[in-house]
Structure 1
Amino acid sequence: MKEIDPGPTAFRELTRAAERLLAAVAGLSDADIAAPSRLPGWTRAHVLSHLAAQAPGLERLLTWARTGVRTPQYASREARDAEIEAGARLRAAELVARVRQSAAHWQRTAETLPGPAWDAVVVPFTGEVCTPRRILVIRLRELVLHLVDLDVGHEVADIPPATRDIVLADVLGYYARAEGVPSFTVHGAGGEELARFGDGGPTVSGTAADLLAWLSGRGTGDTLDAPGGLPALPPWI
């Protein structure tokens, strides 16, 4: 599981990712957020509502780490889904304001988390056992990929390299643990091996951005070099 250490570099990447997303949605109208996002069945309002609710959810995991008291990210899947649906019915200005306020509050909570808490064990909604160092990756991943999902002019190729590499490593780590992943090897554009699944099998090569787009389900992979054809992957998250 990909983790990053807390500190100025990590917090700066998180701040910039939030700023890019907020700048991209600042001028959206009610009609704009009612339009479909790139996520099947979700409008842009659903994506924004998810982001607004996800920050407090991850913040609850930081509270768990700080206090030692089990504090689930969400009470249940049903409660999570209901919160997203309710938020998706808000007007654009109110929904964007919620995203902005929750992002700022989450950032303050993360930056003031006591040192020992960063090594505490928590369990996100996905069921993985991790520390808050992993929560930083999850937050960063959600900000940059959901900005792409909003379909407001940002692509995976626009993700800054440092952040892109963190998220790519995270997605590759997911497939290393997932069931039903066929044998294949991932190479970067320079020929370097990035990951090997099963016995290696055929090779898929490309730029980090193109690989991330394909692996995360945000690209077809048609720009990748895959002599044996692209393997069929189980869904990512």
Structure 2
Amino acid sequence: MAGQRSLADSLRWMAEGGKTFSAALAGLPDDRLDRPTALTGWTGRHLVAHVAANADALVNLAHWARTGEERPMYTSFEQRDADIQAGAVRSPAELRSWAAASAEQLDRRLSELDERQWSRPVRTAQGRTVPATEIAWLRAREVMVHAVDLGAGVGFGDLPADFLTALIDDITAKRSGAGDGPALTLTATDARDTWTVAGASERAGDPAEVTGTLAELAAYLSGRAPGPGDRPAPPLPRWL
């Protein structure tokens, strides 16, 4: 594990990721939104709807942090999925407008939070109780990774190295906590960082050693590649 990320880091990555996603989307012709993405079963329309709806959901958490009034991200996973499906049939112009407006709204709501409100506990869509500072990280992760998923020429290698390190920290911690996959020892060839992932209890044995660049490790751990540099590595269960 490379280290802890700060709120300032997360806000910086959120801003940079938002610009990266917006630029990738702006460069994507409307007809390309009808094509499949790297996410199984999702077209570009689904992906843009998801990113737009995510910003709306995080506005709910920002409201919770500011007022103390509980406001979950989504009423249910079923409603979340239904909203994405409904959003995916909007016109390209409507989708682009929604993505931009929801991102701007989230930026405004987060800018209103003071130090005390940033530390207020809120609950993620996965049911984790976290300080509101995590809202910025959740959004940074969303826009950075999905900028790659759009298939508009952005790769993991185009994302900031310190963000990739934080992303690998985040994913390895989640995979270790879930304990439902292989045990791994991961080494970055372009940084002095190593990570371990605890494997499932029934899979006793030495961890598999996986090496690659930060970008390659992030792509593998997030399920976007079968292994670093597309070299074979132990298959992983779903990340999120």
Normalising by structure 1, what TM-score?
0.89
After superposition, where does 1:57-68 map in structure 2 within 5 Å?
57-68=57-68
Alignment-derived partner of residue 214 in structure 1: 220
Tell me, yes or no, if the aligned pair for 2:211 and 2:228 is still in contact at 8 Å. no
Give, in angstroms, the shift of residue 202 of structure 1.
Answer: 2.8
Tell me, yes or no, if the aligned pair for 1:137 and 1:166 is still in contact at 8 Å. no
Distance 2:58 2:4 in 1: 15
When structure 1 is superposed on structure 2, of 30-39 and 189-198 the one drifting more is 189-198
Distance 1:222 1:17 in 2: 23
Distance 1:59 1:43 in 2: 25
Tell me, yes or no, if the aligned pair for 1:3 and 1:133 is still in contact at 8 Å. no
Q: Note the aligned Cα RMSD (angstroms).
A: 2.2
Spell out, residue by residue over 1:154-207, the C-alpha distance to the aligned partner (whole angstroms, 9 max, x if none): 111111212222212111111121131222211221564222425752311111
When structure 1 is superposed on structure 2, of 128-137 and 193-202 the one drifting more is 193-202
Assess, with a 3 A threshold, how the Cα gap between structure 1 residues 109 and 3 changes in structure 2: closer, same or farther: farther
- Partner amino acid, structure 1, of 2:22: L
**Helix, strand or coil at the partner of 1:122:** strand
Aligned pairs, number: 233
**Helix, strand or coil at the partner of 2:71:** coil
Give, in angstroms, the shift of residue 149 of structure 1.
Answer: 1.1
Matched, 1:193 2:208: no
Identity of aligned residues (%): 33
Distance 1:4 1:118 in 2: 15
Structure 1 unaligned residues grouped into runs of 5+ = none
Normalising by structure 2, what TM-score?
0.88
Alignment-derived partner of residue 202 in structure 2: none
Tell me, yes or no, if the aligned pair for 2:62 and 2:132 is still in contact at 8 Å. yes
Runs of 4+ with >6 A deviation = none
Assess, with a 3 A threshold, how the Cα gap between structure 1 residues 71 and 220 changes in structure 2: closer, same or farther: same
Q: Out of 207, 231, 235, which is 1:232 matched to? A: 235
Tell me, yes or no, if the aligned pair for 2:210 and 2:233 is still in contact at 8 Å. yes
